[in-house]
Amino acid sequence: MLFWTTIKLALRSLIGNKLRSVLTMLGMIIGVAAVIAMLALGNGVQSQITKWVSRMGKNTITVFPHNPRIPPVLNGAAEPLTLGDAHAILSIPGVKYVSPVVADSKPVKWGNYHTYCNIIGCASTYILIHDFKVQSGQMFNYFDIRDMASVAVIGPETATRLFGSQNPLGHTITVGTIRFKVIGVLVPKGRQGWFDPDNQVLLPYTTAMTELMGQHQIALNHIDIEVQHASDLTPVQNQIQTVLRIRHSLIDGDSDDFWIASQLQIIKITNRIGGAFTMLLGSVAGIALLIGGIGIMNIMLVTVTERTREIGIRKAIGARQRDVLRQFLIESVLVSVIGGVIGVGVGVVSAHFVKFRHATGVVEPHMILLALCISAGVGVFFGYYPARRAARLNPIEALRYE
Amino acid sequence: MESVKPILELKQIIKRYHLDAGDVLALDRINLQILLGEMFAITGPSGSGKTTLMNILGCLDVADEGEYILDGEDVSELEGDALSNIRNRKIGFVFQSFNLLPRLSALENVEMPLLYAGVRHARNVATEALETVGLAERLHHEPAQLSGGQRQRVAIARAIVTNPAIILADEPTGNLDSRVGRDILNLFHDLNAQGRTIVVVTHDSGVAKHCAREARIRDGRVVDILEHSSVHTSGTAEIDPPLAATG
């Protein structure tokens, strides 16, 4: 009974000071909306990354030459990944395709047209591993690789930049200083975050390693592998580790001087990065919420002072400390929760509009629950001190207050 | 009258205020008995200690020394919430400036002490109290929509709603014009006639003459206790219809 009267009264006093209540709530609204929008954005980025990673290809494993867990200084002695390593991996049971990869960025030219793109030296299996399709012409084959042919397969974006609407097939482009004949154009795949698979030039790895990347480079940037079945991922990974440790003459106790990343691991890592990103965004938004809370405290202190006489009257007619405390706490929680509810609405709407690269916000129910709990918590936390101050007022002095 | 038991009793009450200039003795060994069903006045000029005495009688403050027995209960040593409970159950305040809560209706104002006491059916009890003071038609008006006299009636209804041991009125007619003030005093007489103990604190000797006895305070002491034999007998005959209507 008293509880409902108190809520009714708190609502009336909020309505009685409309502008002040709205401004106080505004702090909470902005804070909660920011929390929702930022968490949603972090969430969206994370799921976008997961999508990109899964688009890299199914059942793939990538072997990198350095163990990221070892500081770079100690990596100096690491053996590079070589074509020999790639061949050794090819003979592991369960492996379907292997492609050695050397990569670089270089200017590419056709006539007066220039662009700058990723140059990938790879095997013909590269497009199978990564799910690329050729829209016109064809992929280079075993013979092109064996003969170190000067042929190139280009991405659709690269084709547009160099050739416009013309058909690039049969034309000769210059990559760095070497001339290559365009024999195929890939089907667009869509941008994958920082990496644009549509703007690249694929070359036979033999040609790329001998002609383009300097004098007979032997180090590979990575080795891309596809296994037969998803169930082969783990055994193949273990086999690769065993094989490479033997080939690199590592003894027990040495750390791997290479790093085997399956899609699963990459997803795990990107999730961790995404989580950190979300935390960062969330804490920035949390600061907005903190400021909203301070606003509430400030206004509640003013309210308590203004209503000193009312507090005196209540105490004279028998209000105990906890009655007064509860009354003001309910009022501050009401402000923060109403602000929080509106903030959730604003946050959910704005989550659809905030963008980071290609990720939009994704709101989940637990975020809304969290935001509402936090806003109620803010009301209690920042309302407690003013409410306690009200509760402890001396009734005589409070009654005398004009 | 000596056979009637005292509803409140002050014994050797001392109250000091600590100021920078030194201690001030606001109440100097006050002894006072107020009897059950009595209408009693406490008078004195400003600075006499009258307000301090009222604060102690109303359990808003406690004495430094001495004993205060209210309705058979020693309240001298109580503090904080215990005093709140005593005020809630045993004392009904009527203030000079009414002191109603602004955004609440008359009914909600009168209900408030009952809600703090945790009484069930507070609404019905509060409605009855407002009917007693002649405001049955004004239950849902807010203080701002009521005249001064009506506001004081709401305050009186709030004071009697818990059926307290004493009604403590501090200059109850001070903010009212004389005609309305007289109506309020008549209302007090009615309540007194129903057996309620009423203590009026005032500097107005006209108001004090309405009470059966009057204690005069000077410099923190009771200097005189007067009996007003020709107590203005109110009865319902005195109360004009306007009392029940506008006030």
Total H helices, total E strands in chain B: 9, 10
Put simply, the answer to whether A2 touches B80 (Cβ < 8 Å) is no
Q: Quick one: pLDDT band at residue B103, thresholds 50, 70, 90?
A: confident
Q: What is the mean pLDDT of residues B141-149?
A: 92
- Amino acid residing at A197: P
| Residue among B86, B104, B112, B120 with most chain A CBs within 10 A, to mutate | B112
Q: In the predicted model, is pLDDT for residue A340 greater than 50? A: yes
The pLDDT of residue A215 is above 60:
no
* Residue range A229-239, pLDDT digits in tens: 888 888 999 99
Q: Per-residue confidence at A193, pLDDT binned at 50, 70, 90?
A: low
What pLDDT band is residue B94 in, cutting at 50, 70 and 90? Answer: very high
The alpha carbon dihedral of A48, A50, A56, A62 has a sign of positive
Distance (Å, rounded) from C-alpha B160 to C-alpha B183? 17
Q: What's the pLDDT band for A5 if we cut at 50, 70, 90?
A: confident
- The pLDDT tens digits for B24-57 are 889 899 999 999 999 999 999 888 888 899 999 9
Q: Which of A188-202, A231-245, B7-21 has the lowest mean pLDDT?
A: A188-202
- Closest to A364 (Cα-Cα) out of A33, A39, A31: A39
Among the partner residues B60, B84, B104, nearest to A396 by beta-carbon distance: B60
Rounded distance, CA B105 to CA A310, Å? 15
**Whole-angstrom distance, CA of residue A187 vs CA of residue A175:** 21
pLDDT confidence of residue A74: 54
Is residue A227 pLDDT above 70, yes or no?
yes
pLDDT confidence of residue A70? 59
Phi and psi at residue A123, in whole multiples of 5°?
A: -90, 170
Exposed, middle or buried: residue A25 (CB in 10 Å: 0-12, 13-18, 19+)? buried
CA distances from A321 to A72, A161, A261, B93, B108 (A): 64, 76, 63, 19, 20
Q: Which of A310, A317, A399 sits opposite B88 (nearest CB)?
A: A317
- Contact: A319, B84; criterion CB under 8 Å: yes
pLDDT of residue B205: 86
Angstrom distance (rounded) from CA A342 to CA A345: 5
CB pairs under 8 A between A and B: 66
First CA to last CA distance, chain A: 30
Tell me the HSE value of A197 on the side-chain side, using a 13 A CA sphere: 20
Interchain contact, B116 vs A13, CB within 8 Å: no
Give residue A346's pLDDT band: very low, low, confident or very high (50, 70, 90).
Answer: very high
The answer on pLDDT for B232 being more than 60 is no
CA of A385 vs chain B CAs: smallest distance (Å): 19
Q: What distances in angstroms separate CA B161 from CA A6, B8, B57, B129, B241, one per listed residue?
A: 20, 20, 19, 6, 23
Rg (CA), chain A: 32
* pTM check: above 0.80: no
d(CA A258, CA B150): 91
A401 to chain B: nearest residue by CA? B99
- SS percent in chain A: helix, strand, coil, step 5: 55, 20, 25
Residue range B165-193: mean pLDDT, rounded:
91
Residues B214-235: what's their mean pLDDT? Answer: 77
Residues B92, B163: Cα–Cα separation, whole Å: 8
* Cβ–Cβ below 8 Å for B99 and A320: no
CA distances from B61 to A394, B17, B68 (A): 9, 12, 11
Under an 8 A CB cutoff, do B99 and A399 touch?
A: yes
What is the spatial distance between Cα B78 and Cα B81, in angstroms, rounded to a whole number?
Answer: 9
User: Does B101 contact A315 at a Cβ distance shorter than 8 Å?
Assistant: no
pLDDT given for residue A68 in this prediction: 61
Q: Which amino acid is at B13?
A: I
Cβ contact B116–A2 (<8 Å): yes
B189 touches chain A (CB under 8 A): no
Mean pLDDT of all residues in B15-29: 88
Instruction: Write down the pLDDT at residue A147.
Output: 92
Structure-model confidence comparison of residues A34 and A216, the more confident one: A34
DSSP conformational letter for A230: G
A309 at B interface, C-beta within 8 A: yes
Domains present along chain B, CATH in parentheses:
37-60+79-245 (3.40.50.300)
Judged on CB neighbours under 10 Å (0-12, 13-18, 19+), A112 is exposed
Q: B116 and A12 in contact by Cβ < 8 A?
A: no
Asked if residue A66 has pLDDT above 80, the reply is no
**Residue-wise DSSP of A58-96:** TTEEEEESS-TTS-GGGGGGPPPP-HHHHHHHHTSTTEE
CA–CA separation, A331 and A301 (whole Å): 12
What residues in A contact B99, CB-CB < 8 Å? 309, 312-313, 316, 399
Burial of A265 from C-beta contacts in 10 A (0-12 / 13-18 / 19+): middle
Please tell me which of the candidates B81, B87, B122 has its beta carbon nearest to residue A317: B87
pLDDT band at A269 (very low <50, low <70, confident <90, very high): confident
Kindly give the residue spans of alpha helices, DSSP state H, lying in chain B. 50-57, 81-90, 106-117, 122-132, 148-160, 178-193, 205-208, 235-238, 241-245
- B55: nearest CA in chain A? A396
Assess whether pLDDT exceeds 80 at residue A313. yes
To the nearest 10 degrees (0 to 180), the angle between helices A308-316 and B81-90 is: 70
pLDDT tens digit sequence for A149-172: 999 999 999 999 999 889 999 999
List of chain A residues whose C-beta atoms are within 8 Å of the C-beta of residue B55: 396
Q: Name which residue leads in pLDDT, A216 or A402.
A: A402
Mean pLDDT of chain A: 86
> What pLDDT sits at residue B247?
37
AA letter at A26: L
Amino acid identity at A401: Y
Q: Rounded distance, CA A241 to CA A63, Å? A: 10
pLDDT above 50 (res A376): yes
Cβ distance A282 to A35 under 8 Å? yes
Statement: residue B240 has pLDDT above 80 = no
Whether the pLDDT of residue A98 is over 90: the answer is: yes
Residue B84 CB coordination number (10 Å): 26
ipTM (interface predicted TM): 0.88
pLDDT band at B184 (very low <50, low <70, confident <90, very high): very high
Q: How many CB atoms lie within 10 A of CB A88?
A: 18
- The closest of A401, A291, A307 to A339, measured between CA atoms, is A291
Residue from the list A16, A318, A321 with its beta carbon closest to the beta carbon of B113: A318
Point out the least confidently predicted range of A47-51, A181-185, B235-239.
B235-239
Q: Please name the residues in contact with B68: beta carbons below 8 A apart, sequence gap of 6 or more.
A: B8, B9, B10, B11, B13, B56, B57, B62, B74, B75, B76
Contact A80, A219 (CB under 8 A): yes
Q: Are B117 and A318 in contact (CB < 8 Å)?
A: yes
Residues near A31 by beta carbon (within 8 Å), at least 6 away in sequence: A285, A286, A288, A289, A290, A291, A292, A293, A343, A375, A378
Residues of A in contact with B120 (CB under 8 A): 1
With beta carbons under 8 A apart, name residues in chain B contacting A321. Answer: 80-81, 84
For residue range A288-308, list pLDDT tens digits in order.
888 889 999 999 999 999 999
Tens digit of pLDDT for each residue in B117-130? 988 888 899 999 99
Residues of A in contact with B104 (CB under 8 A): 9
pLDDT: is B54 or A80 the higher one?
Answer: B54
- For chain B, what percent of residues have pLDDT higher than 70? 91
